[in-house]
Chains A and B, each alone.
Chain A
């Protein structure tokens, strides 16, 4: 597969757009379909695609397994951390109202932060599972 020039060129054209699409799904989740979960899957699929075309080692140089495994708990930490912050600001756990100048804006910012946490955990989990699956065959 490594020598196939068509796949390599197509992958190089596609992968930036996949990343942009993942970010679009992520930050457009409030206005259109999508959100952290879907964006995380698209971002993970981008890493899969790169690993299939260019090999596992090349993919692991760009997205090191260590980082991926740290992402798995980091996302949960971001999500739970937002809850702790709202707790410290004098509201109920995971009530985002005090995060912004007024309640709706606080909710808006809270949703964005929480969705980032979802994205990080989903991407990290999927890529880590993929790495360990593919790495076993060698």
Chain B
């Protein structure tokens, strides 16, 4: 509850601020709070990822981006009514959607009855891995993880193609013609 209140405070801070540097730092704070929420929910692997990627790496990358652009957000040109409507609508839809979800930690839900008991009982015997998350990710669901790594690979290659090799573009004949 304390964590969720702090999350709300951070979000309101981000909404109020116009200085993007402060927004990036508050984004890092948000990720750390989210990681704490994950620890409370006993999802330590997710918490670790959130803390290192969300608060660490992406904050550094955002700061590197700010170095290339302006640090002050320009005043909005449009009225904020449509974005407000979209945000509130999505929020209401998500909250309504949570009513259909089973309660947290309930025993007789499909997530807890289908294949999870098999993993919990047999993963150590099958793979000698004490951490069930690792056993599921790398062994039982190895094919999915291969797909995930391929996604990271594709994203990395795409970003590199966008960012690399653009600097030494010489002014072509087209631009010279315009100057004349």
* A residues adjacent to B (C-beta < 8 A): 25, 29-35, 37-38, 41-42, 44-45, 48, 52, 69, 72-73, 75-76, 79-80, 83, 93-94, 96, 103-105, 107-108, 110-111, 114-115, 117-118, 121-122, 124-126, 128-130, 132-134, 136-137
Chain A residue nearest in CB terms to B155: A125
Interface residue? B65 (CB, 8 A): yes
Contacts of A83 in B (CB 8 A): 142, 146
Q: Count of B residues near A, CB < 8 Å? A: 44
Chain A residue nearest in CB terms to B143: A94
Interface residue? B92 (CB, 8 A): no
- Compute how far the CA of A89 lies from the CA of B47 in the bound complex, rounded to whole angstroms: 37
- Compute how far the CA of A58 lies from the CA of B95 in the bound complex, rounded to whole angstroms: 50
> In the complex the two chains form, is B131's CB within 8 Å of A31's CB?
yes
At the interface, is chain B mostly helix, strand, loop or mixed?
helix
Interface residue? B90 (CB, 8 A): no
- Compute how far the CA of A32 lies from the CA of B142 in the bound complex, rounded to whole angstroms: 19
* B residues adjacent to A (C-beta < 8 A): 44-45, 47-49, 52-53, 56-57, 60-61, 64-65, 67-68, 125-131, 133-135, 137-139, 142-143, 145-146, 149-150, 152-153, 155-157, 159-160, 163-164, 167
> In the complex the two chains form, is A132's CB within 8 Å of B153's CB?
no
> In the complex the two chains form, is A29's CB within 8 Å of B134's CB?
yes
Chain A residue nearest in CB terms to B165: A132
Contacts of A69 in B (CB 8 A): 160
Which of A30, A33, A80, A129 has a CB less than 8 Å from the CB of B129? A30
